[in-house]
Amino acid sequence: MTALSGITPSGRLTLGNHLGALRRFTDPDGFYFVANLHAMTTKHDPRRLAALTREFATLMLAAGVPEGTVFIQSDVPTHAQLAYLLECTSYVGELSRMIQYKEKGNRPMTRASLFTYPCLMAADILLYGAERVPVGGDQDQHVELARDIAIRFNREYGETFVVPQLNKAALATRVKDLANPTAKMSKSAADDAIGTIRLLDPPDVIRRQIMRAVTDSENEVRHDEANKPGVTNLLDILAACTDGDPVELAKSYATYGALKQDVADAVLAVIDPLQKEYARLTTDPGAIDQLLAQGRDRALDASTPRLQAATRAMGLAGSA
């Protein structure tokens, strides 16, 4: 069952991105990409985008995403090509209902691409016949729309696309901000935001952030999202990093301090090897280029037949 997923280079990569998505990019036959086209839906700085794209691709390789599966979205033109075809099968009504658009968009100076972005994401998924799409909970609505678009296309133009499955809830699909544990940890937070753990921050900074995480005025370690969001987030992070059960783990702690110490150790045990591998890879930029070229060629070969099928199905001349 082919898996596919992408990460948008719109800020420094966070622990939330890693636990909710990146560490689940394990299918050797999968397709995993830096979604740089998606990073242009709001005002962007070209130089920062280029730097972050490279950083994200290197982090994916450092995280052990299988060789040959990693590529940069804009290197593979089939994504933008299919996105246009899918825009021609999608409705303003359904796109206006997307939560991310409702939160960030719908103003006169909103980029048109923010509105059509879910069509590009559907194209990313449908081009490869992906059935599994490992993403965090904030992307579920987009995967659902990709399903709707596939089903509608198949009905109107003939069987062309595999309908992806809905994301199975995994541990830590919604990691919260450490300073504001009712909001999600987000890479678009300010660079110095203390509640966001960035994968490339120095270990002592990460430890300090965890030790300062907001909890509550009680002193009972209990998994209770509604009443104890800070403690619950720490337990969820610990569980995700140690493959444990957050409710069970709560029973082994008498104080918040002891819990935080263990969360810091567990998070650093996950991040430390990743940082070391990242540092090693960056000493050989040619090797990174080669891996990304390999990923690009494989992605182009795999996606072209389905783009051609969709093009023909829609009645575009010259492609029959």
Return the residue of 87, 138, 216, 265 that touches ligand TYM, per CB under 6 A. Answer: 138
Among 3, 12, 17, 153, binds ligand TYM (CB under 6 A): 17
Between residue 105 and residue 124, which ones bind ligand TYM under the rule CB under 6 A?
121, 124
Nearer to ligand TYM, 98 or 292 (CB): 98
Q: Which residues contact 98 (CB under 8 A, 6 or more apart)?
A: 118, 141, 142, 145
Q: What is the spatial distance between Cα 117 and Cα 38, in angstroms, rounded to a whole number? A: 7
Interface pick for ligand TYM out of 3, 70, 125, 193 (rule CB under 6 A): 125
Rounded Cα distance between 252 and 248, Å, is: 8
R_g (Cα) of the chain, nearest Å: 20
Residue 154 makes CB contacts below 8 A (sequence gap 6+) with 160, 161, 163
By CB under 6 A, residue 135 contacts ligand TYM:
yes
Q: Which of 25, 75, 69 has its CA nearest to residue 50?
A: 75
Counting contacts by CB under 6 A, is residue 34 touching ligand TYM? Answer: no
Burial class of residue 226 in the structure, from the number of CB atoms within 10 Å of its CB (0-12 exposed, 13-18 middle, 19+ buried): exposed
The answer to whether residue 187 is catalytic is yes
Check: CB of residue 41 under 8 Å from CB of residue 113.
yes
Catalytic residue (one of 104, 228, 260, 276): 104
Is residue 104 annotated as part of the catalytic site, yes or no?
yes
Annotation says 184 is catalytic: yes
12 in Cβ contact with 199 (< 8 Å): yes
Residue from 43, 168, 187, 260 carrying the catalytic annotation: 187
Q: Does 184 bind ligand TYM (CB under 6 A)?
A: yes
303 near ligand TYM (CB under 6 A): no
Q: Which residue of this chain has its Cβ atom nearest to ligand TYM in the complex?
A: 20
- Under the binding rule (CB under 6 A), the answer on residue 133 touching ligand TYM is yes
Catalytic residue numbers read: 104, 184, 187
Q: Write out the residues near ligand TYM by the rule CB under 6 A.
A: 4-8, 16-17, 19-21, 35, 38, 121, 124-125, 133, 135-136, 138-139, 172-175, 184-185
